[in-house]
Chains A and B, each alone.
Chain A
């Protein structure tokens, strides 16, 4: 399309303004995290005028080591279990025909939009009744359920679009249902599976309400929860809070920078949980 150079310039101005706006809060936090400590004492590690010592101090005071470990355990467990379960159920919905498949699939679809706010109340009281609150399982299992709802929808769409010829050929060769899934379809489904992995990882890492409700024990806090509590306790300045915020956000941001195609495609195409 032909457009004047004036319009082109205007485009760059818009892009630049928009990008600045998007980065504004992020840069605010980064600048504070790397700035001079509130206490004024300039001890700690400083590289090229950047006060990297802030991160070490926040890490210690805010116990982010514990929180990040918990977040990592929670996220990895949720990702692994929900991906395996979703591949299995997506395969059934996508490649097999059986009575009630439509109805069952709609039931799973409901889970994609079901807000955690509605289910977290009964979940808490029921899990408390069987002594499961304040455990790793109380944080992880509801999130596996949410991810499985999305994953079933996601993998079904992929398996439906995958080559039927390939499946038929494998069957003619005498491959069992199980072998067709793991040796023919799953290797081809790698892009779809990677997208699901990064989305579920991000959602679980960033989740706030479920760990907030389910856990009171400090050692079971996830990173966002730890940051919220850190903010409540540490009110004498912004530097360490900013450093903590950077620590909490970094793992997902780094993953995003490497796999942004998967993030963007996944969130635009199928993401309704969030």
Chain B
């Protein structure tokens, strides 16, 4: 199974890669031109190599130097990587990313599973409209999202207004300026952003489960809860893997949101790896350290995507 096949669930078994027979048939068709393929790939490869591959290698190279971006760089070996593990601020940033993963990925998948399985049981009208609405956050620029939520979280914003209205006004605060509330507040924006996507994805997966599976479960006397664990959950493992991949990567890459809402503050309570990369490279003049964080981030993202897809595959088999 390739890394890529897990990225797209092209309609379950409609996936061309999985249809038996075609994989072999698609290669080496008689009279197939061979070398001209390189010519077709060349332009795409040139742009890709120049602006993604080469910079990635350069990032690895830079990560071994101490460089302020202006004067001569000096070789420091693995010091920048050691700092990622030892520097308290950096460890903190990766720790914050873990908190964001809970809010961006775990919570939306849990909520999405419940919502989708309830909605899947009864066909109600207006589902297409609902899909359009809950998916809407996905297409709005993060900067715009951040501007909107800053307003909601403001001392005189609508969140405090709601708390006041239900008699919990004492819980109200300047959410993004609060040392303990700022990170969960940013995380919650992620929950808002990702839940719609995850629910729509899971609903599509559940729609493909055959009715006879549910009927069999009912004959066995299964209630809604057992039905969920025995039929629904195992059938959407692939979709859960895709949802987790998308949302975990989004959590790890959170930059715009932090940049516009808190810039890592108050204190360092909302600094995340992506923000540290930007801050160190372009504000503090610690280019080598920034590159090392970027490389670590890339490695973490690659391995998480690989792992989640491996687990998802095993479930399918």
Contact = CB atoms under 8 A, between A and B. Distances in A.
A209 B119 CA distance: 37
B134 interface: yes
B22 to A, nearest CB: 8
Nearest to B245: A272
A45 interface: no
Contact of A269 (B8, B152, B192): B8
Given A19-B134, A29-B151, A115-B301, A269 B52 contact: no
A97 B27 contact: yes
Contacts of A113: 249, 301-302, 305
A158 B106 CA distance: 32
Interface stretch (B76-84, B163-171, B176-184, B195-203): B195-203
Given A19-B133, A88-B43, A160-B17, A11 B118 contact: yes
Residue from B7, B37, B134 having most chain A Cβ neighbours under 10 A: B37
Interface in A90-134: 91-99, 101, 104-115, 117-126
A24 B192 CA distance: 10
A68 B208 CA distance: 42
A168 B55 CA distance: 41
Contact of A25 (B26, B145, B301): B145
B294 A117 contact: yes
Given A25-B145, A252-B139, A160 B274 contact: no
A273 B172 CA distance: 37
A229 B198 CA distance: 32
Contacts of A24: 152, 158
Contacts of A238: 151
Contacts of A184: none
B221 interface: no
Nearest to B288: A121
Interface stretch (A36-44, A56-64, A241-249): A241-249
Nearest to A223: B141
A54 interface: no
Contacts of A161: 10, 14, 16
Contact of A249 (B14, B140, B274): B140
Contacts of A95: 26, 32
A112 to B, nearest CB: 7
A140 B32 CA distance: 35
Contacts of B16: 157, 160-161
B49 to A, nearest CB: 8
Interface in B92-139: 115, 118-119, 121-124, 126-127, 130-139
A264 interface: yes
Contacts of B10: 157, 161, 269-270
Interface in A166-217: 168, 171, 177, 202, 205-206, 208-209, 212-213
Contacts of B8: 153, 157, 269-270
A109 B118 contact: no
B315 interface: no
B40 A88 contact: yes
Nearest to B158: A28
Given A85-B47, A206-B142, A268-B201, A106 B3 contact: yes
Q: Which 7 A-B pairs have the closest CB atoms?
A: A118-B294, A122-B58, A145-B51, A161-B16, A25-B148, A92-B40, A89-B44
Interface of B: 2-4, 7-11, 14, 16-17, 22, 25-29, 31-38, 40-41, 43-45, 47-48, 50-53, 55-56, 58-59, 61-62, 69, 115, 118-119, 121-124, 126-127, 130-145, 147-149, 151-152, 158, 192, 195-197, 199-201, 204, 211, 214, 242, 245-246, 249-250, 252-253, 255-256, 259-260, 273-274, 277-278, 281-282, 287, 290-291, 294-295, 297-298, 301-302, 305
16 contacts: A19-B130, A22-B134, A22-B136, A25-B149, A88-B43, A101-B37, A113-B301, A118-B59, A119-B59, A122-B59, A125-B62, A146-B52, A212-B259, A224-B141, A269-B8, A270-B8
Given A32-B151, A115-B253, A118-B55, 16 more contacts: A92-B40, A97-B34, A108-B45, A119-B52, A119-B56, A119-B294, A121-B281, A126-B58, A141-B47, A161-B14, A206-B142, A223-B141, A227-B147, A252-B139, A270-B10, A272-B305
